[in-house]
Structure 1
Amino acid sequence: MWRPDRSGDKPIYQQIAEHIERRIAFGELPPGSALPSERKLAQQWEVNRSTVIQAYEELRASGLIESIPGSGRRVSRYKWGIAPKHTPPNWRQYAEGGTFMPNLPFIRRLREAKRSETPLIDFSSGELAADLFPNDAVRKLMKEQPFTDHLGYHDPQGYLPLRETLTAYLQRYHQIQATEASVFITSGSQQSLYLITQCLLSPGDAVAIEDPSYAYSLPMFQSAGLRLFRLPVDEGGARPEDVVALHRKHKLKMIFLNPNFQNPTGSVLLPARRKRMLELAAELGVPIVEDDPFSLTACGDMPLPLPLKSLDTDGTVLYIGSLSKIAASGFRIGWLIAPQEIVSRLTDARLQMDFGLSIFPQWIANAFLQSEHFPQHLHELRQALKARRDLLLESLRQLLPEEISCRRPEGGLNLWCKIRQPISDSRLLEEGIKRSILFVPGSVYGSESGYVRLSYSRPGLSDIPVGAARLAEAIRAARL
């Protein structure tokens, strides 16, 4: 990201003016483009607002930008009063068009905050911290096992050795029986969900989604024109009787569940509910999409919960897994276990998209899953996540004993917390950003205002108490 050079001789306002002029000249800011407010740029570049105003005045005097009452500043359509020979496309109209919806405002605000050079304590990201990645193991594997595969296109269904390795992995860790023909490799769980919504469902179809749920933070469901109906989640997960009621009223086409350490609540679907959910899916002919990124993250020595798919004897569950939450997000490796007819349909779609994933991450993931490093990494990861979870819970208990209550998850990466006093999600988020602490307001996941999701996998142990203290300050500052 560009920053003004404070050590140079050129005034800061002039550097800003020249930077914006270059962006206009390069076509990054076409004629008519809206420009950020002075306050926003001053905060982004850590300069006085008057400095940005001076830069804007320089550009306005040169005819490059114009001020429009009620609309702020825009790139001028007519430089120095001379009409252009050609009319450029209305890029803003294009950017606001299309059927694929943008991310939610809170998600965009968090992404914007992360671009700041100010050090942040990030409880908003569901990504593992760098020190939890198996970096040493991957380096050893790459040194010991030279890459010998060809560099052309590979099978769009996924690298065959990796699919074969995954069948053994699924049996060992999840008691899921599968063949390599039923395994479809994706770039992660979200791509699996995207392909399902685009290829297996149609606009107007009714689908049931847990409430709250990570799925509500993904506008891909609305972009696909689906009708979303809520399955309330309590400490025992979603209730089968709610599925019956929804299907009777709306004729569900698909049920989306995250049974193990559900995101964001951390709940685990009760055994009796698992059995009944599978029975209902078979009776109604409605498939269940099981998103299972967290089963192997049970804290410490807790037993690993088995996925729904391990109990599926009727072939009603589409199972989604990933390495992002148990190894490294940078692998960009996920998988979908499905009937061969579905795998063929998605493989055909993959051919239209990208001809398949790069061979390199698939090759590395295959070597890692086959190696002795993986079980050792998994053991260390579970111990580390337990330590982070316990430290965050204890810090919140000491700092906010009356103001907040949190579920204690037995696995996963998240705490789901209820703020007891009335509070505005947007105000709370801004108070947090002011204090360089990030978290996700519960309304992002379809919840009512007053909940937050705190991911404890990203901050280091030394940062967790500091982050909890900043969160306490933000909550007290944001009270209604």
Structure 2
Amino acid sequence: MRLTVDRHSGVPMYRQLAAQLRESIVSGALAEGYRLPPERELAARLEVNRTTVLQAYQQLKDEGLIASKVGKGTFVLPATSAASATSGTTVASVPPASVDATGATALSASQASTRVGSVVDAGIVSAKDRGTRSASGTGRSAVHTIRDGLSGETSAEPPAIRPPWSILFSDYSNRFTYHDIAEADRAQRGGSGGRDDARPHPIDFATGSPNPADIPDDLLRAVSLEAFASHEFDGQPESPIEGFDELRDLLAKHMRDRGVGCDARNVMVLSGSEQGIDLIVRAFVNPGDCVLVEQSTFFPALQTFRSADARIVGVPVDGDGMRTDLLEGYCARFHPKLIYTIPTFHNPTGTTMPIERRRTLVDVARRYQCLIVEDDAYGDLWYGDGHRPIPLAGMENTGYVMYLSTFSKTVTSGLRTGWVVADPHVIARLAALRRMVDQHTSTSSQRICLELLKEGRIAGHVASLAAAYRTRRDVILDALERYMPHDMRWTRPQGGYYIWATLPGGVRALDLLGRCRARGVTFMPGGVFDVDESDDAHIRLNMVRPDAADLERGIQVIGESLNAM
């Protein structure tokens, strides 16, 4: 058994060790009953502190993969043990305390219950304190009473108690990792980070949406006029909850053109594909259920799984996406309810899963009777390299794949309209649950999408967009070759928005981001997308967001910043 730790990595050494052991266990390389080295012995071999090994072993014990027996050692457990282990938010991490929108630490109800006194005490502000603060110009009272508005009132006010937010917020909302959202927001601003220092127009490789100049304003203006001039919907002001029948028919045809056998019964129109993730989680995921994902993935999906108190397990990835050669071991160990994957033009890595891996993924899901959620937001943005990928939903016709896509990546992010393709039983259940969220997608948005899909209008726009994006990709790839250090690596996407770059050893993504932001260039650090939030060795570059004229300069700034570190 070969184990290594990288002291220059941003990932803690105990997590590196736990990840290597986990992979060996779920792949079968370490069989049931295998005796792991004693902590002191392994620590000496790796030249690390014994605490590092103890923490790694404890993490694997919490996951139900190993157990210790006094006087006998530490052993690999049978596969059934992992499935019955106590559920957690994620595997390979203990999530940090959440942060609410005001920046205050948000505790779970159980944590907060032990701190009621301190929370309430911290919220008491005396009249004297308020007067002092106001007089000094440092702030105003956060609590105002009727007394504040009475002239000549001189009597002392009673203490004002602010709501104890950490207790009042639900466990559902506390399971969000608000620091991810804050980090993503900071990454999208230029400057060094101060409120007054932000540059108004940074070279933005961070934001996950298209360049505003690529929005087809003329096309949208024309189809909007036609949509609302039509009398087709007279007398039908509201949409069915699943969407207008004609739009569902057109979306089903669009999917058949992509190789997915379906009809209108299999389609529901959504208010964005993220709504589809939320509805699917509501329909299928109970607290403690396991969800398998790529180790780095779309972080709003991770937020949704965390809020449902799911057990999130990251499957290793490489240049071809999810390591499906390991998938059987993960399914045998963790018995997942769902496998969430972005197999085509992946966010954030830009990779595309080959046909062989797609077949393996579908086959394993069938055998273990777990459902696949295929997120295909970028699937239409194929650059024409090689063979166009076939969606997983086109390789499986028994109902195990639920497919999601959206117009927001091909038309405009403001058009919050997407769709789900699934078995009619699933569509019926999602429609019933949707009544608690919204009654249907905006009728105006649906009418616009109807006109876009008619007569191939959107197809022509997407084809020109993909050609432009391919040119931008080639510009960035050329710039990366010229400006980056020799030991930096990156992906070469066949479509979509993103390039995923691996930083040279010892360079932390957040340190690099700070230097680049000071020079007006932004990107997204890899930790935002990581299941255990510890990846500091990768960055995501959105190659379609910046102006084409700024692409080379932006990459040059990143390269110069790297070389100066």
Q: Under a length normalisation based on structure 1, what TM-score does the superposition of the two structures give?
A: 0.79
CA distance in 2: counterparts of 1:258 and 1:366, whole angstroms? 26
1:465 to 521, 546, 552: 552
* Length, aligned pairs only: 418
CA distance in 1: counterparts of 2:428 and 2:143, whole angstroms? 50
C-alpha displacement at 1:166, in angstroms? 0.4
SS in 2 for 1:335: strand
C-alpha displacement at 1:355, in angstroms? 1.2
CA distance in 2: counterparts of 1:63 and 1:424, whole angstroms? 44
* AA at the equivalent of 2:211: A
1:129 to 202, 211, 217: 211
CA distance in 1: counterparts of 2:455 and 2:167, whole angstroms? 51
State how 1:14-25 maps to structure 2 within 5 Å: none
CA contact (8 A) 2:272 2:406 kept: yes
CA contact (8 A) 1:181 1:340 kept: yes
Q: Quick one: structure 1 residues 66 and 84, their matched pair in 2 at CA, closer, same or farther if it must change by over 3 Å?
A: farther
The alignment yields a C-alpha RMSD, in angstroms, of: 2.9
CA distance in 2: counterparts of 1:392 and 1:213, whole angstroms? 22
* AA at the equivalent of 2:214: L
CA distance in 2: counterparts of 1:301 and 1:378, whole angstroms? 16
Structure 1 gap ranges (5+): 1-32, 36-59
Report whether the alignment pairs 1:108 with 2:182. Answer: yes
Report whether the alignment pairs 1:437 with 2:511. Answer: no
2:297 to 205, 209, 213: 213
CA contact (8 A) 1:295 1:304 kept: no
Q: Look up the match of 1:304.
A: 388
Q: Look up the match of 1:366.
A: 450
Q: Quick one: structure 1 residues 120 and 103, their matched pair in 2 at CA, closer, same or farther if it must change by over 3 Å?
A: farther
Structure 2 gap ranges (5+): 1-101, 105-128, 149-153, 190-197
CA distance in 2: counterparts of 1:335 and 1:312, whole angstroms? 18
CA contact (8 A) 2:485 2:559 kept: no
Q: Quick one: structure 1 residues 66 and 203, their matched pair in 2 at CA, closer, same or farther if it must change by over 3 Å?
A: farther
SS in 1 for 2:312: strand
SS in 1 for 2:173: coil
State how 1:370-389 maps to structure 2 within 5 Å: 370-389=454-473
Q: Look up the match of 1:138.
A: 220
Q: Look up the match of 1:475.
A: 562
SS in 2 for 1:332: coil
Q: Look up the match of 1:337.
A: 421
* CA shift digits 1:128-160 (9 cap, x unpaired): 112222221121222344154357432111222
Which region of structure 1 is more displaced relative to structure 2, 108-117 or 391-400?
A: 108-117
Q: Look up the match of 1:49.
A: none
2:312 to 206, 225, 228: 228
CA distance in 1: counterparts of 2:359 and 2:446, whole angstroms? 34
* AA at the equivalent of 2:271: S
* AA at the equivalent of 1:241: D
Which region of structure 1 is more displaced relative to structure 2, 239-248 or 386-395?
A: 239-248
Q: Look up the match of 1:171.
A: 256
Q: Quick one: structure 1 residues 92 and 226, their matched pair in 2 at CA, closer, same or farther if it must change by over 3 Å?
A: closer
Q: Under a length normalisation based on structure 2, what TM-score does the superposition of the two structures give?
A: 0.68
Which region of structure 1 is more displaced relative to structure 2, 318-327 or 300-309?
A: 300-309
CA contact (8 A) 2:133 2:139 kept: no
* CA shift digits 1:54-95 (9 cap, x unpaired): xxxxxx89545599xxxx978466889942587553456545
Report whether the alignment pairs 1:455 with 2:542. Answer: yes
The sequence identity of aligned pairs, in percent, is 27
2:411 to 318, 324, 327: 327
CA distance in 2: counterparts of 1:410 and 1:225, whole angstroms? 35
Q: Look up the match of 1:391.
A: 475
SS in 1 for 2:414: helix
2:490 to 396, 402, 406: 406
Report whether the alignment pairs 1:283 with 2:370. Answer: no
CA distance in 1: counterparts of 2:507 and 2:250, whole angstroms? 49
